[in-house]
């Protein structure tokens, strides 16, 4: 890309403690893992999906660093009252101070069918995050945090696990429709001399899946951006933007013409977890507009009309191109909804496929994926 493409030209000062409605819930299982102490409930309830508790507690911090972190959480949407801020900071500094070393997470890839039957893959246990299945179902792109967070490719037939990125911190991979490219978010444009901060500044990039060539930067703007999903025709990539006032909004980055991004959806609610219908006329995402996260389907590219798909909560949307069903998570249940998109949109009644103890996303982005026919799911499972 040539020049800087500004997605948002708005500058908002963040002074003192801001109170922005929390429209993303932290999962209960994450709170259960916290040590007992005054402030545990506040910490569990005050993390935001786009800046998860799992990410925050990956390393210990000084009290001053926790002050900065909590302030940053507030600016991104956490509902923290001034009276509670000091309690939260004291709890975090006491239990997750500079000497804290988190135990390494160990997870494996598993196939799961519609009945909940589990078949482990041969990949070695690692701290896998945000797996994305290639269109042919033969490879998995995933980010693994070590000294830095990087994108790795796991080849299912051969069992080979190879590293794709080597510079900066890289997360949230997603495949192009032809399986030739992997898009991801990265802080590699920051100077390493000053100490990179993914939380403060990350943009969307893509790189050839075979590792050849250099990564190309896709966005260059004021706020943080990350790739979501391509439209079925492969001509447009949906992009999430983290805005200090409206939380997470949805933009589109066309791959034809001058690649000028355009805004799809910006509301006071926190949107995320994008997926497209096979005909490309509808877009599914999670929204906190009702006070809890639900799955919504909107006309594309118009954004209206919109229809709520889930009931009683919904997150982590997966919509395979050759499946009649849209899938999402509600608690530990994996749900399915039959949807027809032509000539008019028809949404069925959500039904439970299976329930199980798998790794759940701390935010809205799916920590699972599906084969194109929707018959098998790639999921993560913790191992001791």
Mind giving me the DSSP string for 129-170?
EEEEE-TTSSEEEEEEESSSEEEEEEETTT--EEE---SS-E
Find the mean pLDDT for residues 134-162. 96
CA separation for the pair 380, 250 (Å, rounded): 26
Residue 47 pLDDT: 56
| β-pair partners for 263 | 251
Q: Which tokens hold the place of 23?
A: 């429209």
**CA atoms of 350 and 55, how far apart (whole Å):** 31
Say if CB 255 and CB 89 are below 8 A apart.
Answer: no
> Strand pairing partners for 152?
142, 163
Using DSSP's 3-state secondary structure scheme, residue 354 falls into strand
**192 secondary structure, DSSP code:** G
- How many other C-beta atoms can be found within 10 angstroms of the C-beta atom of residue 188? 19
> In the predicted model, is pLDDT for residue 77 greater than 80?
no
**What pLDDT is recorded for position 191?**
82
What confidence tens digit (pLDDT) does each residue in 16-70 have?
A: 332 222 223 333 444 556 889 998 888 877 654 444 555 667 678 899 989 988 8
pLDDT at 238: 98
Give the residue among 122, 223, 235 at the shortest CA–CA distance from 177. 235
* C-alpha–C-alpha distance, residues 11 and 200, integer Å: 15
Give yes or no for a contact between 133 and 140, defined as CB atoms under 8 angstroms apart: yes
Tell me how many degrees the CA angle 84-90-96 measures, rounded to the nearest 5.
125
The whole-number pLDDT of residue 4 equals 34
Task: Supply the DSSP symbol for 281.
Answer: S
Domains in the chain, ordered, with CATH?
28-95 (1.10.760), 107-382 (2.120.10.30)
- Segment 326-352 shows an average pLDDT of 96
Hey, which residues does 379 pair with through a beta bridge? Answer: 110
Give the integer Cα–Cα distance in Å for 193 and 311: 48
Alpha-carbon span 30 to 40, nearest angstrom: 11
pLDDT at 365: 92
pLDDT band with cut points at 50, 70 and 90 for residue 3: very low
What's phi and psi for 330, nearest 5 deg? Answer: -130, 105
Q: What is the pLDDT of residue 32?
A: 56
Whether the ω angle into residue 249 lies within 30 degrees of 0, i.e. cis, is no
pLDDT score for 54 = 58
Instruction: Give the DSSP H or E segment for 31.
Output: helix 28-32
- The model's pTM: 0.78
pLDDT tens sequence across 248-277: 899 999 999 999 999 999 999 889 999 999
The chain-wide mean pLDDT, for the chain, equals 87
- 188-227, pLDDT tens digit by residue? 998 887 777 888 899 999 999 999 999 999 999 889 999 9
Least confident of 43-47, 367-371, 372-376: 43-47
Q: Is 232 exposed, middle or buried (0-12, 13-18, 19+ CB in 10 A)?
A: middle
Closest alpha carbon to 107 in 90, 89, 132, 129: 129
Structure tokens that stand for 20 in this block: 């922005």
What's the pLDDT tens digit per position in 81-131?
A: 878 888 999 999 999 998 887 777 799 999 999 999 999 999 999 999 999
Percent above pLDDT 90 for the chain: 65
Q: Is the backbone peptide bond immediately before 301 cis, with ω within 30 degrees of 0?
A: yes
């Amino acid at each position: 890309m040539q020049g800087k493409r500004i997605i948002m030209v708005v500058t908002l000062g963040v002074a003192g403690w801001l109170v922005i409605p929390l429209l993303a819930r932290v999962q209960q299982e994450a709170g259960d893992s916290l040590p007992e102490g005054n402030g545990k409930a506040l910490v569990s309830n005050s993390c935001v999906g786009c800046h998860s508790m799992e990410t925050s507690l990956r390393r210990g911090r000084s009290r001053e660093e926790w002050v900065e972190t909590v302030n940053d959480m507030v600016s991104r949407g956490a509902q923290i009252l001034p009276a509670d801020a000091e309690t939260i900071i004291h709890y975090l500094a006491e239990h997750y101070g500079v000497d804290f070393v988190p135990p390494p997470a160990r997870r494996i890839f598993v196939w799961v069918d519609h009945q909940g039957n589990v078949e482990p893959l041969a990949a070695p246990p690692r701290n896998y995050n945000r797996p994305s299945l290639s269109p042919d179902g033969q490879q998995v792109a995933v980010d693994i945090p070590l000294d830095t967070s990087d994108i790795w490719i796991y080849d299912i037939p051969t069992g080979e696990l190879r590293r794709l990125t080597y510079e900066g911190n890289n997360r949230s991979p997603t495949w192009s429709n032809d399986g030739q490219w992997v898009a991801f978010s990265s802080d590699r444009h920051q100077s390493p001399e000053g100490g990179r901060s993914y939380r403060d500044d990350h943009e969307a990039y893509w790189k050839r899946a075979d590792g050849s060539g250099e990564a190309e930067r896709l966005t260059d703007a004021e706020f943080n951006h990350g790739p979501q999903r391509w439209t079925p025709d492969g001509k447009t990539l949906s992009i999430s933007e983290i805005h200090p006032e409206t939380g997470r909004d949805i933009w589109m980055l066309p791959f034809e013409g001058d690649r000028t991004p355009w805004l799809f959806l910006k509301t006071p609610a926190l949107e995320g977890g994008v997926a497209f219908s096979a005909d490309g006329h509808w877009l599914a995402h999670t929204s906190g507009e009702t006070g809890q996260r639900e799955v919504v389907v909107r006309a594309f590219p118009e954004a209206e009309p919109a229809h709520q798909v889930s009931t009683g909560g919904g997150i982590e949307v997966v919509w395979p191109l050759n499946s009649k069903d849209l899938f999402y998570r509600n608690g530990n249940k994996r749900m399915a909804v039959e949807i027809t998109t032509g000539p008019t949109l028809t949404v069925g009644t959500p039904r439970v496929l299976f329930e199980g103890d798998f790794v759940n996303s701390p935010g809205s982005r799916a920590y699972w994926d599906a084969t194109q026919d929707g018959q098998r799911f790639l999921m993560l499972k913790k191992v001791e």
